[in-house]
């Protein structure tokens, strides 16, 4: 069992960390306070980060991507989320959703859409969640009704990452409610050709990361924009959630590591009772607990990435990583606020942002409670929910 990165991976990590420290970390708080990032700024950052492999990270070289694996993904996004979690969300969703196009059985669509995505010229997202459906994608209410050569889409999607700035949206919709999961499809909506309404949802954390309510009203989309034959949509959606959950876990690891680093620096500088607070036993205990939790979450998450790359069934391992890492992020960033005392509540220091950002990852892509039910089902062979 090898826990070491390769020399090439270590070099990438070193180069990315140096770049982010110089160019991204210093502006993260400023951009976070501005709220949801504009499309213009998002595209600029995509272009800046492209040389490191952030754009279309997993896209094979034959389609113009870097052709990296999930371990590289973990390295890249742990570092970016540590530096600026909001930006990491924008870039990560674009890269992950691009893989939805790569995995499609629609070669014509791949050839048409992929070039602009891997070039960092367009933004894409995936729309699954609805006002009444989150953890159960088989029950989506959004309808895609065949109308001649088009599908007519009607419905509302909620909490859609990148929704207000996306050029393309992969919409998960129901073609025939009587078929249940077998009627689910994935269809690509091109915003310019098939307009829809998008309204920003303002959140507790990762405030730069656009999150939207999308409303489709008789939105006509060519049936040639189906990513897969009808009936495969549900299975493909569940597969995509595996990656999304591992991505949420590595986001939490990155944010928590940032909180640990800030706490160590502060504990070495802050003086009380004529001693630096890092010499106090209770502060050392908190720092030790934080480090243990971050490292445990990191190991669980990279194991999940490794298994995804192996192509083996790993729902249990992915859910373990997601459940532990995201809850760990809340605990660790809370301790960071405590170590900083009143300054931990002030916007002038980044730890309050880390705390807000971390809290936003326990819920998306299946809550902690859902992850535990998945783990229980995989171990016991019993379904706790239908």
Is the pLDDT at 198 greater than 70? The verdict is: yes
Is the pLDDT at 385 greater than 80? The verdict is: no
Which sequence spans correspond to the domains of the chain?
Answer: 7-118, 124-230, 235-380
> CA-CA distance, 166 to 173, in Å (whole number)?
18
Picking from 144, 192, 146, the residue whose alpha carbon sits closest to that of residue 171 is 144
pLDDT score at 355: 98
Q: Give the pLDDT mean for 328-341.
A: 98
DSSP-derived secondary structure letter, 19: H
Q: Measure Cα distances from 349 to 259, 322, 338, 356 in Å.
A: 11, 27, 13, 13
Task: Average the pLDDT over each of 124-128, 131-135, 226-230 and give the range with the smallest value.
Answer: 131-135
Is the pLDDT at 138 greater than 90? The verdict is: no
> CA-CA distance, 300 to 208, in Å (whole number)?
28
The percentage of residues in the chain with a pLDDT greater than 90, rounded to a whole number, is: 96
- Fold of the CATH domain 124-230: Butyryl-CoA Dehydrogenase, subunit A; domain 2 (2.40.110)
Is the pLDDT at 1 greater than 80? The verdict is: no
Q: What is the pLDDT of residues 69-118, one digit of tens each?
A: 999 999 999 999 999 999 999 999 999 999 999 999 999 999 999 999 99
CA 364, 367, 371, 377 dihedral sign is negative
Task: Average the pLDDT over each of 88-92, 144-148, 230-234 and give the range with the smallest value.
Answer: 230-234
pLDDT score at 133: 85
pLDDT score at 123: 98
Is the pLDDT at 282 greater than 70? The verdict is: yes
Q: Which two tokens stand for residue 149?
A: 């050569």
> CA-CA distance, 264 to 276, in Å (whole number)?
11
Could you tell me what percentage of the chain is helix, strand and coil, using 3-state DSSP and rounding each to the nearest 5?
60, 15, 25
pLDDT score at 150: 96
Is the pLDDT at 40 greater than 80? The verdict is: yes
Q: What is the pLDDT of residues 284-327, one digit of tens each?
A: 999 999 999 999 999 999 999 999 999 999 999 999 999 999 99
pTM of the predicted model as reported, rounded to 2 decimal places: 0.96
State the architecture of 235-380 in CATH terms: Up-down Bundle (1.20)
CATH superfamily placement of domain 7-118:
Acyl-CoA dehydrogenase/oxidase, N-terminal domain (1.10.540.10)
Is the pLDDT at 386 greater than 80? The verdict is: no
Burial of 365 (0-12, 13-18, 19+ CB in 10 A): buried
Q: What is the pLDDT of residues 155-181, one digit of tens each?
A: 999 999 999 999 999 999 999 999 999
């Amino acid at each position: 069992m090898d826990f070491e990165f390769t020399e090439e991976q270590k070099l990438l990590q070193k180069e990315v960390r140096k770049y982010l420290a110089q160019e991204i970390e210093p502006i993260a708080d400023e951009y976070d306070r501005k709220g949801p990032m504009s499309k213009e700024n998002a595209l600029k950052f995509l272009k800046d980060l492209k040389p490191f492999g952030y754009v279309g990270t997993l896209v094979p070289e034959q389609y113009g991507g870097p052709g990296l694996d999930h371990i590289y993904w973990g390295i890249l996004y742990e570092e970016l989320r540590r530096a600026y979690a909001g930006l990491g969300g924008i870039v990560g969703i674009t890269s992950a959703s691009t893989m939805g196009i790569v995995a499609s059985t629609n070669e014509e669509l791949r050839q048409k859409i992929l070039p602009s995505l891997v070039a960092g010229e367009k933004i894409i997202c995936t729309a699954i969640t609805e006002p009444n459906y989150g953890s159960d994608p088989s029950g989506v209410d959004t309808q895609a009704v065949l109308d001649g050569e088009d599908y007519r889409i009607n419905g509302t999607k909620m909490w859609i990452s990148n929704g207000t700035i996306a050029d393309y949206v992969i919409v998960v919709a129901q073609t025939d409610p009587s078929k249940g999961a077998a009627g689910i499809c994935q269809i690509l909506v091109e915003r310019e050709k098939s307009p829809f309404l998008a309204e920003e949802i303002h959140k507790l954390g990762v405030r730069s990361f656009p999150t939207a309510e999308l409303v489709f009203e008789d939105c006509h989309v060519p049936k040639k924009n189906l990513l897969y034959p009808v009936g495969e949509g549900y299975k493909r959606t569940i597969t995509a959630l595996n990656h999304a959950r591992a991505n949420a876990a590595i986001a939490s690891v990155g944010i928590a590591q940032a909180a640990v680093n800030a706490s160590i620096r502060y504990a070495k500088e802050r003086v009380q009772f004529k001693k630096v607070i890092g010499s106090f036993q209770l502060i050392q205990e908190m720092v030790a607990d934080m480090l243990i939790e971050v490292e445990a979450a990191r190991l669980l998450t990279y194991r999940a990435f490794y298994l995804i790359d192996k192509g083996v069934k790993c729902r249990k391992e992915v859910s373990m990583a997601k459940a532990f890492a995201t809850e760990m992020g809340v605990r660790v960033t809370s301790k960071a606020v405590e170590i900083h005392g009143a300054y931990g509540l002030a916007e002038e220091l980044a730890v309050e942002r880390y705390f807000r950002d971390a809290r936003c990852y326990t819920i998306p892509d299946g809550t902690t409670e859902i992850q535990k039910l998945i783990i229980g089902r995989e171990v016991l062979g019993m379904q706790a929910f239908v």
